[in-house]
Structure 1
Amino acid sequence: MGKRDYALLRLLWGNALRRNEVCQLNVRDFDPAGKTLRIFGKGRGTQAEAIDLGTATVQAIADWLEARGGNQSHDTPLFTALDFANSGHRLTGDGIRKIVVRHSENAGIKKQMSPHRIRHSAITAALDATDGNVRKVQKLSRHRKLDTLMIYDDNRGRDQQDITEMLDGMF
């Protein structure tokens, strides 16, 4: 369970994936040699896109698949439930949410967490790390409209306060 959850959390954080994008993944979508994952993004129907994975995320997913063992045909879900009643079935969106909530609480995070909050935090952290390079971060977030991404950028800083302080010093 720990290896599955670790791979899942790394994927949510490192690639800012949507919960539904993770739910749809099959073993065939993971290419460890190419360090890519084929996802079906929001509003894209049957149109897939390949995203790049970080080395640590590739290793975490490979470790999970090795520990899982058993039948891993190409049509097998990448992430499966491990509880007694649903073992081997595709992990649902609610199952992913429960994993995120459980680990967040165990880590002492007081704020209510969700897969979308991880996505939001990852996008905001990427904007901080790139000094607000919205074009680069748009590739990570896969937002079609730059206006949507700008909401994250506007919320990350205290630009208005900085400008007010600057103007206040010019008086």
Structure 2
Amino acid sequence: MERKRSVTLKHLLINDKKCIGIQFYTDKVIQALLKEIPGIKWSNEFNMAYLPNSKSHLDKIFQIFRGVVWVNCNFFYEKNLSQNHNEPVNVEWFRKRELKQNYRSCPEEYLVKLEIKKYANNTVKSYVSLFEVFINFFNEKKLSTINDEDIRLYLQKLVQENRSNSYINQSINSIKFYYEIVLGMPNRFYSIDRPRKEKKLPQVISKSEVMKILDNTNNLKHRCIVGLLYSAGLRRNELINLKLSDIDSNRMLIRIESGKGNKDRYSLLSNQILDDLRIYYKKWRPKKYIIEGQYGGQYSGQSIAVIVTRAAKKAGIRIRVTPHMLRHSFATHLLEAGVDLRQIQVLLGHSSSKTTEIYTHVATSTFSSIKNPLDL
């Protein structure tokens, strides 16, 4: 069976000029057709044919190959990465901060693009800070002249510094955002290898330990914070954005708007937590958000982490407990109680069931029916 002929279009930057790269397997028909395109050249660096990026050249490529060769544009045209978060994007902090002498700050067009794309504030902070670390590593070099080899050198440095896979992947994302989204060159760095994804099991605590943490919170507000994180399986940022109108006491559900991946979902409302919330509301009178700061407005994510950690320490739990560990425990305890994995997936807001299946590796119900060989 004859293999279908195809070429793949890529964005290249050659001598500071945007070019259309044409990648293909060796084929006499494709090579003959390429010769019919005026201005076509070969790049030994990228191992592909290329020509200046212009609409006329792009039209010529489609005209030459039409009906004979399939043109793959998946790596050429930019995907729509715009987000639709309810929270306003704030990059003013980065513009107004005081910088050290000779410190290379994030380009203005980078900040503008993050605003236009409406990226989540946590992503904005991460991208800007990591991209600035990167550009200050190449302080003497123009950004447009940094190539694949330079980026590999930088990533090698991160590996040697024992940076986590998550840190390295986020660094790559921040770099790609500049060259691919800001400069309009999607998938320029398609040959950059990413670290292999770590397969770590989630850390969980027992239900009795959760109850101890609740009993050792300092006040009713802190108890509501811990209770909501665990009983609804909330992420820390989801709790911060939780509004008074999101509590549906008639249906005993909590509405989570624009969770991770910008997805809305519902989770469970505990009777016990609802009683606490009613008493808390009468005392604190929050205006918009369920949990508000001392002077109103959204609560601090860092403060939530401190509340959980301190209450766990006070409860005598030896491991460091985080807000996300309460979410993991919520899912694991439901699975141990016989709740269907698909239902847990919906409650957690996971796009894939494979993400939820990780809890089968830590649930005691997975091992309860297995007899230890030493006791056989």
If the length of structure 1 is used for normalisation, what is the TM-score? 0.78
Native 8 Å contact 2:335 2:360 kept in 1: yes
Provide the rounded CA distance (Å) in 2 between the counterparts of 1:12 and 1:114: 10
Q: Choose from 129, 141, 148 the match for 2:348.
A: 141
Secondary structure, aligned partner of 1:162: coil
User: Deviation at 1:55?
Assistant: 1.4
Aligned-partner SS, 1:11: helix
The structure that is helix-richer by fraction is 1
**How big is each residue's C-alpha offset from its partner over 1:108-166, in whole Å with a ceiling of 9 and x where there is no partner?**
11110101011111111111111x7312322332222111111111232464x937739
Structure 1 unaligned blocks of 5 or more = none
Alpha-carbon separation, structure 2, partners of 1:50 and 1:139:
8
1:89-168 aligned at under 5 Å gives the runs 89-130=297-338, 133-157=340-364, 159=367, 162=370, 165=373
Contact 1:20 1:93 in 2 (8 A): yes
> Residues 48 and 136 from structure 1, CA distance in 2 versus in 1: closer, same or farther, beyond 3 angstroms?
closer
Q: Which moved more, 1:132-141 or 1:12-21?
A: 132-141
Q: Indicate the larger mover: 54-63 or 9-18.
A: 54-63
Distance 1:25 1:115 in 2: 15
TM-score of the pair, normalised by structure 2 = 0.38
Percent identity between matched residues is 26
In 1, Cα distance between equivalents of 2:349 and 2:242: 17
Residue 206 (structure 2) pairs with residue 4 (structure 1): no
Contact 2:224 2:277 in 1 (8 A): yes
CA contact (8 A) 2:335 2:341 kept: yes
1:88 corresponds to which residue?
296
Check 1:164–1:34 CA distance in 2 against 1; reply closer, same or farther (3 A cut).
closer
Tell whether the 8 Å contact from 1:32 to 1:62 is kept in structure 2 after alignment.
no
CA deviation string 1:7-66 (max 9, x = no partner): 12111111111111101112222233443322122112xx53333312112222122111
Structure 2 segments unaligned to the other structure (5+ residues): 1-217
| Aligned counterpart, 1:66 | 282
Aligned length: 156
- The RMSD of aligned alpha carbons is 2.6
AA aligned opposite 2:255: R
Matched, 1:77 2:289: yes
